[in-house]
């Protein structure tokens, strides 16, 4: 169901979190739907159960899932707009920093972004 890349710079618990957020935000997982148990997921990915537990704990803290003792983890009834916005902001910040370093001015990046947006809108 999920897939982790041991060689990625991103920690494995983070990769699991991102994938669950992606599945919830695209509507593949509906609210109330059950997630695989920590043990099952750890076994199928061949990783330490503590890593999965950490991903679930952080997701629970962010309100993306609810864990019910002895029953398992379930997708919470929440709008992920905030999560997605935060992620988008991080990515934009990375993008901005990269191209500033490569010599584009802030104004140039802004005008490129506007060009891309208007192209996408017109399609």
Partner 1 sequence: MLKINNLSKAFADYPVLSALNWEVPDGKVFGLIGSNGAGKSTLMRCISQVYDYDGDISLDGAPIADRKEKLFFVSDEPFYFNRFNTSEMRDYYRIFYPDFDQEYYRHLLELFHFDEKKPLHLLSRGLKRQSIIILALSCKPRLILMDESFDGLDPMVRLTLKRELIKLVDAGETSVIISSHNIRELEDICDEMALLEKKQIAFTQSLEDLRQNYHKVQLGYSQAPAAEVFEKMPVLSYEINNKVVTVVYHGDAARQEIEATEPILFNPLPLSMEEIFVVEMEVSQNEK
- Site residues (vs partner 1, CB under 8 A): 1-3, 5, 7-8, 19, 22-23, 26-29, 36
- Other CB atoms within a 10 A radius of the CB of residue 36 amount to 16
Tell me if 32 sits within 8 A of 39, measured CB to CB.
Answer: no
Q: Shortest Cβ distance from residue 120 to partner 1 (Å)?
A: 18
**Distances 35 to 5, 17, 51, 57 between C-alpha atoms, Å:** 20, 12, 15, 13
Outline where DSSP puts E strands in the chain: 65-68, 72-75
Burial class, 72, CB count within 10 angstroms (exposed 0-12 / middle 13-18 / buried 19+): middle
Q: Whose Cβ is closer to partner 1: residue 23's or residue 47's?
A: 23
Q: Whose Cβ is closer to partner 1: residue 18's or residue 60's?
A: 18
Q: Whose Cβ is closer to partner 1: residue 1's or residue 116's?
A: 1
Q: Shortest Cβ distance from residue 111 to partner 1 (Å)?
A: 30
Tell me if 57 sits within 8 A of 46, measured CB to CB.
Answer: no
Q: Shortest Cβ distance from residue 22 to partner 1 (Å)?
A: 6
Q: What are the structure tokens assigned to 116, written together?
A: 């891309």
Q: Shortest Cβ distance from residue 21 to partner 1 (Å)?
A: 12
Q: Whose Cβ is closer to partner 1: residue 2's or residue 96's?
A: 2
């Amino acid at each position: 169901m999920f897939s982790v890349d041991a060689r990625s710079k991103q920690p494995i618990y983070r990769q699991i979190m991102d994938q669950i957020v992606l599945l919830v935000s695209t509507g593949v997982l509906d609210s109330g739907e059950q997630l695989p148990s920590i043990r099952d997921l750890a076994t199928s990915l061949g990783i330490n159960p503590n890593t999965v537990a950490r991903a679930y704990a952080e997701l629970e803290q962010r309100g993306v899932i609810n864990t019910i003792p002895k029953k398992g983890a379930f997708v919470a009834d929440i709008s992920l707009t905030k999560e997605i916005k935060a992620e988008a902001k991080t990515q934009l910040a990375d993008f901005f920093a990269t191209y500033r370093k490569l010599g584009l001015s802030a104004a140039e990046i802004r005008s490129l972004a506007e060009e891309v947006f208007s192209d996408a809108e017109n399609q």
